[in-house]
Amino acid sequence: MSDISNLTNDFISDFWSFYVAGITLASILACVLLLWFSGKAKAMTASDNTTGHVWDGDLREMNNPLPRWWVWMFIITIVFALAYLALYPGLGAYNGKLGWTERGQYDAEIKKGNDEIAPLYARFSSMKPEDVARDPQAHAIGERLFQNNCSQCHGSDARGSKGFPNLTDNDWLYGGAPETIKETITKGRIGNMPPMAAAVGSADDVKNVANYVLSLSKSPHDAARAELGKAKFMVCAACHGVDGKGNQALGAPNLTDNIWLHGSGENAIIAMVNGGKTNPMPAQAERLTEGQIQVLASYVWGLSNGGKAGK
């Protein structure tokens, strides 16, 4: 552990800042010295101002100085480099006189863009989510927001995949009301299923519980094992309910609807009981404005409630 701490300290120490600044300034100084020495150094020349080097029979090397414009280009480049490093970050941890940062530039451009589109979203703020979902303009904006921010996990058609919920059905872990969807987008969610094997009992008990869970949704199962697993299921009932219909306050899935977020079948359920699962949904409050979140939440609500534009 101490070795890891020492390694971490090495990478966050001031040494690397001085190292980068030193290498940068040394490179500029080397250019200055090269320019100065090349102007001062005199090569041995013959009476015809050649160095004595001959190629291809008659190609002779002359000893002429660099063109004046070329020298000035070197000088301007060096001056520009020094001025740039004084104004902008480039010397290790030094931030420059202007205090410019990539993050600051990004935030300024995002703010400018949000300010320009704020009047557009203001129109939707006074509308009910159901009406926003059916508004053609809001629907088009919501679809674009979804494709840019949500489709990477939930799919371009919003039907999800293993580990990522389908947003087009009526199965909601935390509830499908527009306000709840807006809260989910704004704050994110952390779905957590702790490992329960120790609480359930032996490996055989876990298998029995898995078959009982399958029986709740009338999925293929071993009826004898399911009967044996019913009593052990009480360990799971604290979150999923005695009837297995879940608890939206906790984000506990309904086990009776035959919708399986992380895979179905005996082996998948056994793996879930044994290993648990943490399933995060990242918060979007820092990426999207309140107006954008409202339109996006209305669009998502409409996916499972017939909220198609113009209807």
Q: What integer pLDDT is reported at residue 15 of this predicted model? A: 86
Element (H, E) at 155: none
Q: What is the Cβ-side half-sphere exposure of residue 216, based on CA atoms within 13 angstroms?
A: 29
For range 7-36, the mean pLDDT:
83
Q: How far apart are CA 149 and CA 292, in angstroms?
A: 11
Strands, E assignment, the chain: 50-55, 59-62, 189-193, 277-281
pLDDT band at 51 (very low <50, low <70, confident <90, very high): confident
Residue 311 has pLDDT above 50, yes or no: no
For range 30-57, the mean pLDDT:
78
Residue 49 has pLDDT above 70, yes or no: yes
> What one-character DSSP code corresponds to residue 65?
P
Exposed/middle/buried for residue 63 (C-beta within 10 Å: 0-12, 13-18, 19+):
middle
Q: How far apart are CA 38 and CA 16, in angstroms?
A: 33
What does pTM read for this prediction?
0.71
45 versus 129: which is more confidently predicted? 129
Q: What integer pLDDT is reported at residue 44 of this predicted model? A: 66
Residue 309 has pLDDT above 80, yes or no: no
127-188+282-303 CATH fold: Cytochrome Bc1 Complex; Chain D, domain 2 (1.10.760)
Residue 11 has pLDDT above 60, yes or no: no
Q: What is the Cβ-side half-sphere exposure of residue 293, based on CA atoms within 13 angstroms?
A: 18
Q: How far apart are CA 28 and CA 82, in angstroms?
A: 8
What is the token pair recorded at 180?
A: 């709840």
Q: 192-278 belongs to which homologous superfamily?
A: Cytochrome c-like domain (1.10.760.10)
Residue 308 has pLDDT above 60, yes or no: no
Q: What is the Cβ-side half-sphere exposure of residue 189, based on CA atoms within 13 angstroms?
A: 21
Summarised one tens digit per residue, pLDDT across range 164-217 is 999 999 999 999 999 999 999 999 999 999 999 999 999 999 999 999 999 999
Question: Could you check whether 127-188+282-303 and 192-278 share the same CATH topology?
Answer: yes
44 versus 115: which is more confidently predicted? 115
For range 75-84, the mean pLDDT:
95
For range 81-98, the mean pLDDT:
92
Kindly report the average pLDDT of the chain as a whole number: 89
| Residues contacting 197, CB < 8 A, separation 6+ | 203, 206, 273, 274
Summarised one tens digit per residue, pLDDT across range 144-162 is 999 999 999 999 999 999 9
pLDDT band at 310 (very low <50, low <70, confident <90, very high): very low
110 versus 38: which is more confidently predicted? 110
Residue 60 has pLDDT above 90, yes or no: no
- Domain coordinates in residue numbering, the chain: 2-87, 127-188+282-303, 192-278
Q: What integer pLDDT is reported at residue 56 of this predicted model? A: 80
Q: How far apart are CA 154 and CA 150, in angstroms?
A: 6
For range 40-62, the mean pLDDT:
75
For range 6-15, the mean pLDDT:
62
Summarised one tens digit per residue, pLDDT across range 273-297 is 999 999 999 999 999 999 999 999 9
Summarised one tens digit per residue, pLDDT across range 91-133 is 888 889 999 999 999 989 988 988 998 888 998 988 999 999 9
Q: What integer pLDDT is reported at residue 94 of this predicted model? A: 87
Summarised one tens digit per residue, pLDDT across range 233-273 is 999 999 999 999 999 999 999 999 989 999 999 999 999 99
